[in-house]
Structure 1
Amino acid sequence: MLCGPDFSDSEDSLFSDDCDYDNFKEKVKSCRYAPERPAAPLTDEQKRIRRLNDLFVAISAGNTVSVVEALNDELDVNADLRDGWTPILLCVSYGKLELALELVDRGADVRAARHGVTALMMACNCPDSTSPFEKTLAIAKLLTEKGADVNATDRKRMTALMFASNSGNLGAVRYILPLADRNAVDNQRWSALTWAVSSNRTEVVKFLLDEGFDPHLQDVRGQTPLDMAKNFNFEEILNLFPPDKEDVVYEVVDKNRCSFEDHFSRLDIDERPRFFLDVCDMLQATGCRSLVPLFYEKNVGLYEFLHMSDSDLKELGVALPFQRHRIRFGLFKFYKHPYHPKSIHRVAPGGRYSNLDVSIQLLSAVKQALAMDASLAYLMKSAHIEEMAEKDATRLRDTLKSIRIKIRGCELIAKRLVPKIDRWDRRAEPPDLITGESPSCRSRWWTKTAFVLSGACLILYLKTR
């Protein structure tokens, strides 16, 4: 049930009775002139808490004199100052080297930890803006020499080496690495290298890479330190990583994207077009994409690739037998499909024959002839000619020679067509994109003009009559 506003709190009702206000004034007066009561004496526990708080403040401020006085006053050097902070933990977290030396001499527990984070981890995690890395390195050495565990882990399984890498303390990383488990990873499978990359610590990343840390170690999300550097666009760190295999493959493929002129304009009479992109496609189809940089470095063209034997691949540098088997099996499947004339690019009857059609048809014809030539070379390698009849061997050699002559002919025709195509392109008048006019538009304009003039002349002629 809805109710209306309550008028009991209106201004009239609030100020209708002044007796409460008068009583309030009397109470204020009585409080103002009331004699101060003596403070109750502190209990021993309250005194102890106050002394611990004073020691907490003195350590945070780096007041060595006050700290020594408090410890001389029978305070426990390993006491819990506040929320699990012992004097040594608080001291090293601020990078107070002089206090650390004093506390360790007085028997401070160098293995102390707060929520699993040890004194050594806190010293390694101290930023340079709070205390110079030279001091925190000296503290790390002090704690380690006195028995601190360099391989201890916190609740997230982070180690002192990871904390040092994250903070960028290269000196601490250099000191701890020989003593620590270099293969340790935390709960998200981050190594010391991953932590250094995530915090953009270039010097630490370079040192860890030189020490052999794996840049391709995947975390629980499948991300590597290299992926992280790419995502955050840490260019200096990216330059430190070895070239990624996939990046090299893409670079090679992009470098070999060439035009019609690139295929033919600089070829000698005895050269064949490389058609390296087709080699990349076939390597991809056989599951050997990682070999693209090797074949590019060795300058392997399509012709050489199509008739490679196992010994050829081994000599090239394909060391793994399963990769050689994949390529050989792929070539075998390739030759199971015979050559067909429909593979050549054709133009429909009555269709317009452009320069692009000429280029495509020539490229296609040369590529098919090259594949046929390679197939014969493949057969020559696979078959033993001495076991053939002399007549068959002679016919095979003649066929091979004939196809090679055809390839040279196609190359010559291509070379002659290139300048002609260039002249045809220059002869065509380009459209005027600014005014929207083209040769055909201008011809239609003259047609319209002639039609209008003819009509005008006809009207004048009729009027004169």
Structure 2
Amino acid sequence: MFRPAGLSDEESNSDDEYGFYETPRKKYTFSNNYENSRKKVENRLQDAVINGNLKEIEKIVALDLNNDANFKLESGWTALMHACFHAQKKIVEFLLEKGADPNLHADSMTPVMAACSNNSGSDDIIHDIVSNLSNHDCLLNIGDKYGQTPLMRAVSSGRTSVVELILSKNVNIEMRDRQGWTALFWAVHHNQPKILEILISKGARLTEVDMQGRTVLDIAQSHEYPQIIEILNQHLKLDNSDEDLLGTEVSDLATWQDYYPGLINDERPKYTSEIRHLLYGMNCERLHSLMLQNNVDLKTFLLLEENDMIKLGIEMPFERQRLKHGIRSFHVKGWKLNTVAGLHIQKSDNYSLQDCLATLGSHLQQLYILESTIQYLMRDYCKIHNQIKFEPPDSPILNKMQSAAKKLLANINSIRREINIMKSIHTKISKNNPKPADLIKEKSTKELAMGYLTDAVVICSLGFLAYHARTYVTSFLRK
């Protein structure tokens, strides 16, 4: 059996609570008024739910089930699951008020999944049922044994209002089922153009592929859905144009400070723009807006802990677990020589100003990341210090830590060597090249005033000398 997505290993008690490890069922003693078998009571309960007989449900729960609203039928379904599947709104309300657990499941099917799978009930009723379940803390970031989430089921059923409701609950729109499909794939497969537009507006990825390497556009073309194809092509074109615009902005740098984000304001670089790429790789790009709202820089992001994530508003345990795993993988990832290589790798005698600035900017970012990694390692080292201080000198743990420290030091030394090489290259460039004409600056007002004053003094001096020379020459001729 597949464990439904969204439940982390940290929630060790959640498995027992929601039946992943089955516990013995409660034995029910039926009242003397009903001397029928358990099967007959189950049939009465199921028939009452299907027919929407609320009074009969109240009677069975009170007299036959001892007010236990979580009684499971032989199929494993609870009365709440049946009521959700058959769109019996009033019965759902009654059972939830009686304490029915909205997260009890049968074969990984939950009540909210059952409600979203209904194809016959009205949109308003299904919307109200899902809203009521959500208000009672039902899990939405969860998949059945096939990986299908409540959102996927609502998409497949064409429940537009339910889809909007679920998306408003901050769910992970990129969760995948066993065939690698997201909710976007299901909207395309079931020809739901309106829902498709909603998902795209919420940031659903258009270029993802499933387990067979197919994109959503491939699925639409195989089904020959012209409206779906038109919508996808339109948004894919917009995405490409945005990327082209971004590339133009990055390549068209106006000043040298643009290579060092933050320095133009006399601040340390923050590299906030890099967080979006890391979140995408961790399949957590939905959290990018939270990072922007809280002004999280790259260093803060790379040092996030459990409590920090909760303070930022990351409520889902599986998202926090993904972030922690992704951040750890980032810090322990090995570096290659080309990563810290500088201008000397290009083997050229002529380097443009842009080459120098780009290489220096790259080294600055690498030092920024290495500083974060050192803090991350030291923090973890302090946490386990008491555990490893009694390790023998030849312990594998100590050997691994020493090896990692040597590699980290080697990376830092490599960057230092690159900096020294850059210094010598810049010295050579400054000595062997004339001063660029574009470095001639326009004179300031003060400089212009001093120039005018100097010119006036010179002119007056020359006039004074000319006057005295003329006087001298005239007197000499008279003699």
Q: TM-score, normalized by length of structure 1? A: 0.43
Structure number with higher relative contact order (C-alpha < 8 Å, ≥ 6 residues apart)? 2
Whose Rg is larger?
1
